[in-house]
Amino acid sequence: MDDTQVGAQLEQMKNFILQEAQDKAAEIKTKAAQEFTSEKGRIFQNEKFKIIKDFEKKQKLIEVQKKINLSNEYNKSRLSVLKVRDECVREVISEAQKKLAVISEDKERYTTILKGLITQGLFKLNEAKVQVVCRKEDVQLAEKILKECVSTYTSKTGKTVDVSIDKERFLPQGPKPDYKGPVCCGGVILSTLEGRIICKNTLDARLEICFDQLTPIIRTKLYGPTASRKFFD
């Protein structure tokens, strides 16, 4: 084989190796491009999924916050309505207190009432020794009717009772236009067993009991029945 043939054969081998290298490079490049495209798609889908989940989470938070805000506004509105209603009911009770304040001015009527309150207190306590606290301005009246109250209690129960008027402690004075301190419209507080058992039988206390019992009725009269209320007293 001469030099020309050897050169041709070497050239052929070189071209073959070069072609193999180019084909391999093209194959690697194609595979790399495919892997890149695949990885890019995977990353894109993952990020897209994250964005969607994050959006959904934020959307839910917004919806929850909207509901909370609506609930807060509803509660504020409801409390405002209830406050106005309570103020109206308080006005009703205030008017009742004003009328209660003048009861003691009618001496004959107040004497009968005070007698009934003391006697009722004796029945409630049902003890052998009772102390009565009244307003300072009612001490003389209480002393005057005390014997009759005890007599009524004894005749009904067959028991004796030792009743005394406390002349050191008094209930607040009756209401006056310019007086801003604590007041009492009348009545008494009875106690026994050294003050361990008490019967609060003042006109103010009785009005408060009536107020508590009649509040639902007063509200119904003022505003009508509540739609959500299923049961009535």
Do the domain assignments include residue 111?
A: yes
- Tell me, yes or no, whether 32 and 76 share the same domain: yes
- Tell me, yes or no, whether 189 and 115 share the same domain: yes
Q: What is the pLDDT of residue 179?
A: 80
Closest CA to 131 of 152, 116, 146, 141: 146
| Pairing mode, strands 129-134 and 162-165 | parallel
Angle at 157 between CA 155 and CA 161, to 5 degrees: 85
Q: Return the CATH number at 125.
A: 3.30.2320.30
Do the domain assignments include residue 84?
A: yes
Cα gap 186→117, rounded to integer Å? 10
Number of domains in the chain: 2
Q: What is the pLDDT of residue 227?
A: 56
3-state secondary structure (DSSP) of residue 220:
helix
- Tell me, yes or no, whether 173 and 143 share the same domain: yes
What tens digit of pLDDT does each residue of 16-67 get?
888 888 888 888 888 888 888 888 888 888 888 889 988 899 999 999 999 9
Give every CB contact of residue 157 below 8 A, 6+ residues apart in sequence. Answer: 123, 126
pLDDT tier for residue 218 given thresholds of 50, 70 and 90: low
Q: What is the pLDDT of residue 8?
A: 79
- Tell me, yes or no, whether 126 and 209 share the same domain: yes
Cβ atoms < 10 Å from Cβ of 31: 10
Report the predicted TM-score, pTM, of the whole model to 2 decimal places: 0.59
- Tell me, yes or no, whether 203 and 111 share the same domain: yes
**Residue 190: both structure tokens together:** 């009875």
Do the domain assignments include residue 143?
A: yes
What tens digit of pLDDT does each residue of 90-128 get?
787 778 888 888 888 899 999 999 999 999 999 999 999
Q: What is the pLDDT of residue 232?
A: 46
Closest CA to 116 of 79, 153, 86: 153
Do the domain assignments include residue 233?
A: no
Q: What is the domain extent for residue 69?
A: 9-101
Q: What is the pLDDT of residue 233?
A: 47
Q: Is the pLDDT of residue 228 over 70?
A: no
